Amino acid sequence: MNIALVAHDSKKELMVQFCIAYRGVLSKHRLCATSTTGKLVSDATGLPIQRFLSSAQGGDQQISARIACNEIDLLLFFPDPNTSNTRESNDLNMIRLCVVHNIPLATNIATAEVLIHGLERGDLDWRNIVNPKRK
CATH assignment at residue 35: 3.40.50.1380
- Residue 123 catalytic? no
135 lies in some domain:
no
pLDDT tens digit at each of 135 positions of the chain: 999 999 999 999 999 999 999 999 999 999 999 999 999 999 999 999 999 999 889 999 999 999 999 999 999 999 998 876 666 778 999 999 999 999 999 999 999 999 999 999 989 988 877 776 654
**Domain range holding 7?**
2-121
Alpha-carbon gap, residue 91 to 11, rounded angstroms: 14
- Sheet containing 105-106: order of strands: 49-51, 30-33, 2-7, 74-78, 105-106
Which entry of 60, 73, 80, 123 is annotated as an active-site residue? 60
Q: Is 123 helix (H, G, I), strand (E, B) or coil?
A: coil
Q: How far is CA 131 from CA 28, 40, 72, 92, in A?
A: 17, 29, 9, 23
127 lies in some domain:
no
Tally the C-alpha atoms within 13 A of residue 101's C-alpha that lie toward its C-beta. Answer: 23
Q: The whole model's pTM is what?
A: 0.92
126 lies in some domain:
no
132 lies in some domain:
no
130 lies in some domain:
no
Burial code (b: 16+ CB inside 10 Å, e: under 16) for 40-50 equals bbbeebebebe
110 lies in some domain:
yes
131 lies in some domain:
no
**How many domains is the chain built from?**
1
133 lies in some domain:
no
